[in-house]
Structure 1
Amino acid sequence: MTDPKDRLLDAALPHVPFDGWSPATFKAAIKDSEMEPVVARAVCPRGAVDLAIAYHHRGDALMLQALAKEDLSDLRFRDRIARVVRLRLEVIENKEAVRRGTTLFALPIYAPDGAKLVWGTCDKIWNALGDTSKDYNWYTKRATLGGVYSATVLFWLGDNSDGNAATWDFLDRRIDNVMQIEKVKAQVRKSPTLSRLFAAPNWVLGQIKAPAQFRREDFPGSWTAPRD
């Protein structure tokens, strides 16, 4: 049996290019899916906003499915990252839905949701690539990739080149920029003078730990009430 949210999402997608992720789209999705409004509101309390989030999650799932069929063993690590980001964009069949989603999550009220979605995508990418970071690098890797991913998506939305070739070149340049930063960090660690200079900041960073394996509530856009 089809999940109610998936039914609503499938019914909404044809309307998104015209009405965006809006109440009008959600109303049309209820009608086209022949779903009871009370059921639709139960699975999507925020209406089309929840459908936009579901659409992003669907893209993440499709990315992981596509990645499972790939053999990245012969690629350099930076090329593996580029390949997975590229897969995330290649599984998208409705660019206008992404464009409308980008507009939606740029609104201040929904910006935390957008940040959480990007962070979640980058977390899935790093996990799929076998990241085992337990310290502050867990955060910096995802934050850095989030910047690369977000910039690439924005470039891709305006790319009319054949096969999105310009986007893939842009992605490669952004990852090269990140690798330059990593080289500088490695040089700092290897230099006795610089190591002493940054001893205090490095100590502070050393106290930062990755979240527990089964507790990931500290994504951007999330808030967890203090435990008693």
Structure 2
Amino acid sequence: MHSIHSNAVKDAIIEKMMLHVPTLGWTMSALSKAVVEAGFNQGDENRAFEGNMEKVVEYYFQWVDQQMLRKMETFDLTSMRTRDKIATIIMVRLALMAPYKAVVERTFTFLAKPPHMPLGAKCLYKTVNHIWYIAGDKATDFNFYTKRALLAGVYLSTVKFWLKDVSSDALQTRAHLENRLSKALKVGQIKSFAKELCEKGLSYLKK
């Protein structure tokens, strides 16, 4: 058997966690069940992810990110506009998460607690960075961070909309996403936001 700290075992534990998080949340109880179902002993949840629930949630995001990256390797985005690439990537990610909507809701609840908010910001940044990377973004300087900040808002809004969407194939979510992207990713909007960030940074330095 692999070490409980290996990525293969962590993947297996996260997959088992998906069965228990909807009812137990991101808790040690859910982790304990997942660890046993992954072939380890009761009590080994204190060794898995160092017994730290934030590390479990962070690895869950990494697990979903990697699934998205692998899935997108099967897509040819070269002929698409940037916003269409991003819309496609996000919809693919949501399709991957569709069987786990209850897990996504529980994750929002976990990350909404003040002690976990920095982790939420960190995971969100990594996800939108992956999305821009897949879309072929070559931005530098303020544009790099501006694009990620703008997409973070679009992505969060879209996920929250998607959680309540009961339309066939999430068609309403796609429409919501495309509308938000068309507003957020206008060149003028990006430049304006970058300028605002720059001015705020200079203002802070002058204090």
TM-score, with structure 2 as normaliser:
0.83
User: What pairs with 1:90-169 in structure 2 (closer than 5 Å)?
Assistant: 90-92=95-97, 93-169=99-175
Range that drifts further, 72-81 or 37-46: 37-46
The answer to whether structure 1 residue 57 and structure 2 residue 62 are counterparts is yes
Unaligned runs of 5+ in 1: 188-194, 206-228
Number of residue equivalences:
194
Task: Determine which of 169, 172, 175 is the counterpart of 2:178.
Answer: 172
SS at match of 1:160: coil
Greater fraction helix? 2
1:148 and 1:174 in contact (8 A); partners too: yes
2:150 and 2:185 in contact (8 A); partners too: no
TM-score, with structure 1 as normaliser:
0.76
* Partners of 2:173 and 2:28 in 1: CA distance: 32
* Partners of 1:20 and 1:61 in 2: CA distance: 22
Task: Determine which of 44, 51, 70 is the counterpart of 2:49.
Answer: 44
Residue by residue over 1:181-220, the C-alpha shift from the partner in whole angstroms, topping out at 9 and shown as x without a partner, is: x235669xxxxxxx9xx9x949959xxxxxxxxxxxxxxx
1:22 and 1:49 in contact (8 A); partners too: no
User: What pairs with 1:70-81 in structure 2 (closer than 5 Å)?
Assistant: 70-81=75-86
1:21 and 1:48 in contact (8 A); partners too: yes
Identity percentage of aligned residues: 29
**Of the two, which has the highest radius of gyration?**
1
Q: State the Cα RMSD in Å.
A: 2.6
Report what 1:3 is aligned to.
8
Give 1:171 shift: 0.2
Range that drifts further, 66-75 or 4-13: 4-13
2:35 and 2:41 in contact (8 A); partners too: yes
SS at match of 1:109: helix
The answer to whether structure 1 residue 66 and structure 2 residue 71 are counterparts is yes
Unaligned runs of 5+ in 2: none
Cα gap change, 1:22 to 1:203, in 2 (>3 Å): closer
2:128 and 2:148 in contact (8 A); partners too: yes
The answer to whether structure 1 residue 183 and structure 2 residue 179 are counterparts is no
